């Protein structure tokens, strides 16, 4: 019996593959590689010493998903595959709706056909929308502010309807806060296309000298230093949360949402300072106006996941920064080029 990982070559998916293989699961990876590289799969094999099947398949191709289910004995699916860039989703919303929603519909239809009803779905804290009330807990009313967020919200609702129609379904909706960091081996990590949108990859590219300075989006929020506060969570902790959620869905039924966050928020300036201390590199920055659509403070109440999944984040800010930095140093061009040693870059304790 195997676990199908859609989007398993991506950032969070690849780290989850490692945790699943280390926990003894048999996995099958499905990915169309639209936002990932095939080399990631070799690195997963290298880290774990385990092999697995890979299908270069698009979820929009239902016949190919059916073939995968025919060829394999699949007992559960962890569904990461989707497009995730907020700004791009505003520019090309139809592509986002088609890819994320039609892809999920195809997957669910094939799962129904093959009587596979266990699913862990990658949702996002973005479904809480513009609430200023913190910490964010699972029962808050949901709202989305952009097409990407709406795909997550719609898929959550679709999956609830699917369960109502057939009570064999067992689905965990995992609402991630801000995933950062990389595997401590430095072999897998986040490899954004072009100039990063998110804070941590931007900071590491400034630290390594690829980008000249960070633009801090506003210092007039109602926070202790005026800059935005987020709940950054180490991707290895996040990956471990998927193993726990998988155990849960395979032993119960229903649709349950869980926050995966640490419960602690850090401001942009605190993140800059932490990176500077860990890397020893200056992070030049300039305060500019707020980014449209940003909220001031977002952090999780992670108590439901602790109580029901027996999961909580273990890794702190030091590991988030040092592991992101090790990945960036060892792979300055992501998966494209490897530079094994760079003498003038180092990781120092906080």
81 contact, one of ligand NAD, ligand UD1, none, CB 5-8 Å limit per kind: ligand NAD
- Transcribe 203-234 into DSSP letters: HHHHHTTSSS-EEEE-S-SSSTTSS-EE-EEE
90 contact, one of ligand NAD, ligand UD1, none, CB 5-8 Å limit per kind: none
User: Known catalytic residue: 148?
Assistant: yes
Q: How far is the CB of 63 from ligand UD1 (least distance, A)?
A: 32
CB 84 within 8 A of CB 92: no
Q: By CB under 6 A, is residue 92 in contact with ligand NAD?
A: no
Binding mask 111-150 for ligand NAD (x = CB under 6 A): -----------x-x--------------------------
Q: By CB under 6 A, is residue 169 in contact with ligand NAD?
A: no
Q: How far is the CB of 40 from ligand NAD (least distance, A)?
A: 8
- Transcribe 41-102 into DSSP letters: HHHHHHHH----EEEE--TT-HHHHHHHHHHS-EEEEEE--S---HHHHHHSHHHHIIIIII
Q: Which of 11, 55, 128, 148 is catalytic?
A: 148
Q: Which is nearer to ligand UD1, 18 or 125 (CB)?
A: 125
CB 293 within 8 A of CB 247: no
**Helix %, strand %, coil % for the chain, to 5?**
40, 20, 45
197 contact, one of ligand NAD, ligand UD1, none, CB 5-8 Å limit per kind: ligand UD1
Q: How far is the CB of 175 from ligand UD1 (least distance, A)?
A: 9
CA 325 centroid distance within chain: 18
190: which DSSP letter?
-
Find the farthest-apart pair of alpha carbons in the chain and give their distance in angstroms, rounded.
Answer: 59
Residues with a catalytic annotation lie at 148
Q: Which residues bind ligand NAD (CB under 6 A)?
A: 7, 9-13, 31-36, 58-60, 80-84, 99, 103, 122, 124, 176, 179
């Amino acid at each position: 019996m195997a676990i199908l990982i859609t989007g398993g070559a991506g950032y969070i998916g690849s780290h989850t593959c490692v945790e699943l293989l280390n926990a003894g699961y048999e996995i099958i990876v499905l990915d169309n590689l639209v936002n990932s590289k095939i080399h990631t799969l070799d690195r997963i094999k290298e880290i774990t010493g385990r092999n697995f099947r890979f299908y270069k398949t698009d979820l929009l191709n239902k016949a190919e998903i059916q073939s995968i289910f025919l060829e394999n004995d699949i007992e559960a699916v962890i569904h990461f595959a989707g497009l995730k860039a907020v700004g791009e989703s505003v520019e090309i919303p139809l592509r986002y709706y088609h890819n994320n929603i039609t892809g999920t519909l195809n997957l669910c239809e094939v799962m129904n056909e093959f009587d596979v009803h266990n699913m862990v779905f990658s949702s996002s804290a973005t479904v809480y929308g513009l609430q200023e009330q913190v910490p964010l807990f699972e029962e808050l009313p949901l709202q989305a502010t952009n097409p990407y967020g709406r795909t997550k919200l719609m898929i959550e609702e679709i999956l609830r309807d699917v369960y109502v129609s057939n009570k064999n379904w067992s689905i965990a909706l995992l609402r991630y806060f801000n995933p950062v960091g990389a595997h401590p081996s430095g072999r897998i990590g986040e490899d954004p296309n072009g100039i990063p949108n998110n804070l941590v990859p931007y900071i590491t590219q400034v630290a390594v000298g690829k980008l000249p300075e960070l633009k801090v989006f506003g210092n007039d929020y109602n926070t202790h230093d005026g800059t935005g506060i987020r709940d950054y969570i180490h991707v290895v902790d996040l990956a471990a949360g998927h193993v726990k959620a998988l155990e849960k869905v395979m032993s119960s039924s229903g649709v349950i949402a869980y926050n995966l966050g640490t419960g602690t928020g850090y401001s942009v300036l605190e993140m800059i300072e932490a990176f500077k201390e860990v890397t020893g590199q200056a992070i030049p920055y300039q305060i500019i106006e707020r980014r449209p659509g940003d909220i001031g403070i977002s952090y999780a109440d992670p108590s439901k996941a602790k109580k029901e999944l027996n999961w909580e984040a273990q890794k702190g800010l030091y590991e988030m920064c040092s592991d992101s930095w090790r990945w960036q140093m060892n792979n300055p061009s992501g998966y494209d080029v490897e530079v094994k040693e760079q003498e003038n870059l180092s990781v120092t304790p906080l």
